[in-house]
Structure 1
Amino acid sequence: MTADNGGRRERRKAQTRAAVRETAQRLFAERGFDAVTIADIATASDVAVQTVFNHFETKEALFFDERTPWVEQSAAAVTGRPPGTDPVRALRDYLESDLVRVLDRESRPENRGYVEALEASTSLQARERTLVEQAGERVTVALSTAIARGEWSAAPATDPATARVLSRLVADLFMVAGRALVLENRRLVLMGQPDGLDLSAARKATAGTLTELERSARGLAGRLLDPAGDLSVEESPAPGR
C-alpha cells in the first residue's frame, strides 16, 4: 500500500466516523438515547451495523464522542504547563475555562436535547460518572509527579506515596466540584427559566468554587505534610499571585 492510498483510507475512515457520530447524536436528541438502537444509527448512516462497532465500542461511547475533551485535557493542563508554574493552579485555570464553555453550551436551546437525553438515561449518567473518575485518575497521576518533585508551591518535595494520596484528594475535589456545577446548571436548564439562565451568576459561582478549592487544597497540603506547622488556609496566596 502506498502512502497516498493509506492516507486516503484514513481520511475515509475519519469521514465515516464523523458521519456516524453526527447521525447518532442527532437521533439521540430527537428520540432520546434509550429509544435509539445501533441498527437505527447504521440505517440512518447508510452503513453496516459492524461498521458502527468498528468505530465505537458502545452506544454510550458514541453519545459522548468529542463531547468530553476534559477527560484527557485536565491532566494535560498539568503536564503541559509552562516550566516553573504551579500545577494545581494550572488545573484550576483549565477547569474554570472548560466549565464556563460547558455551562454556556448546555444552556443553549439547540442543545436541550442533549441535556434531556442525559437526564432520562441511567446508563449515560453512569458512563459520565465513569468519565469523571477516569479524568480524576489521570489528574492524580499528573499531580503526583509534580508534587513529588516539589513543583507545587504549597508542598515541599515528598515521597511518591504521600504525593499520591495528596494528589488523589486534590484531583477528586476539583473533578467532583466541576460535576456538581454542571449538574446544577442542567437542573436549571430543564426547569426552563422564563428569562433564560443567568450565566454570569454561573460563571461567578464556578470561579468562586474553584478558587476556594485551590485555597483549601493548599491548607490541606500543609496539614498533611507538616501537621505541626502553622500553614493555614488563610495564609495561602490570593488567586493570580
Structure 2
Amino acid sequence: MDTPPVTGRRERKKAATRKAIADAALRLFLERGYDRVSVRDVAEAADVSTTTLFKHFPSKEALVFDEEEDREAELVAAVRGRPEGQSIVEALRGHVLASWPPLAAHPLRAEFTALVESTPALLEYYERMWTRHTAALGTAVAEDAGVAPDDVACHALARFVLETPALTRGRKDLRGAVEQVFDLLAHGWRPPS
C-alpha cells in the first residue's frame, strides 16, 4: 500500500506563501478592480517582495487563477488514476460532481466571475488556460484510448467536459444538470420526452 508523501516544512511554507499572495490579490482585485491594483500592491498586502511574488506567479493574471495547475493535474489524474473497469466518462463525471458544486457554491463565486468577465486581460488569460486544459485532458484521453494524441473525438470529449461549469451555472439543481450533461456524453443525445 502506498503511503502519501509527507510534506516537509519548506513545502508547507512555500504553499502558505503562495496562498497568502493569491488571497491578497483576489481581495484587492475584488475591492478595487483588477486594473487599479499593481503587482507591487499585491506584494505589499501579502508582506512579500515582488521577486517572491514572481517566483510563485509568472504574471499578474496568474494571481487570479492560482489553482490552474492543480485543476489541470486533477483532470488528467481522473482519467489516468481511475479504477479498473470504470469508463473515462464516468471517472470525469465523478471528478466534476466532486469539484464543481463546491466551487459554484463558494460565497465569492459571483464576484469572481464578474471580475473575470469584466476584465479583458483576465478573460483572454482564462480562454488560453481553458485551451491548455482541453489539450492536456484530450491528450490524456487519447493516450488511454491508444489513439493519436491529437484525436479529434478525444479532444471534443475534453472540451465538452470542460464546458460543464458554463452549461450548468445558475441551475437550481446543479447536480442534476451535471448528471444530464454526463448522461449525454455517456449515452449520446436523445430528444427530450
**Shorter-chain TM-score: what band?**
0.7 to 0.9
Q: Which has the larger radius of gyration?
A: 1
- Tell me by how many angstroms 1:62 deviates: 1.1
1:16 aligns with 2:2: no
- 1:170-228, CA deviations, whole angstroms, 9 ceiling, x for partnerless residues? 222222x325326x53xxxxxxxxxxxx632x332222122112222xxxxxxxxxxxx
1:199 aligns with 2:152: no
- 1:131-169, CA deviations, whole angstroms, 9 ceiling, x for partnerless residues? 222221121122112222xxxxxxxxxxx3398232122
Mapped to 1, the partners of 2:134 and 2:109 lie a distance apart of 26
The one-letter code sitting in structure 2 at the alignment partner of 1:203 is R
Contact 2:138 / 2:149 at 8 angstroms: preserved in 1? Answer: no
2:67 maps to what in 1?
66
Unaligned runs of 5+ in 1: 1-6, 149-159, 186-197, 217-232, 235-241
TM-score by length of 2: 0.80
The one-letter code sitting in structure 1 at the alignment partner of 2:91 is A
The Cα RMSD (Å) is 2.6
The one-letter code sitting in structure 2 at the alignment partner of 1:33 is Y
Count residues with an aligned counterpart: 183
Give the ranges of 4+ consecutive aligned residues of structure 1 lying more than 6 Å apart after TM superposition: none
TM-score by length of 1: 0.66
1:180 aligns with 2:166: yes
Identity of aligned residues (%): 31
Query: 2:148 is paired with a residue of what secondary structure?
Result: helix
Unaligned runs of 5+ in 2: 1-7
Mapped to 1, the partners of 2:102 and 2:123 lie a distance apart of 20
Contact 2:39 / 2:60 at 8 angstroms: preserved in 1? Answer: yes
Q: 1:114 to 1:162 in 2, by over 3 A?
A: closer
Q: 1:12 to 1:139 in 2, by over 3 A?
A: closer
Q: 1:68 to 1:30 in 2, by over 3 A?
A: farther
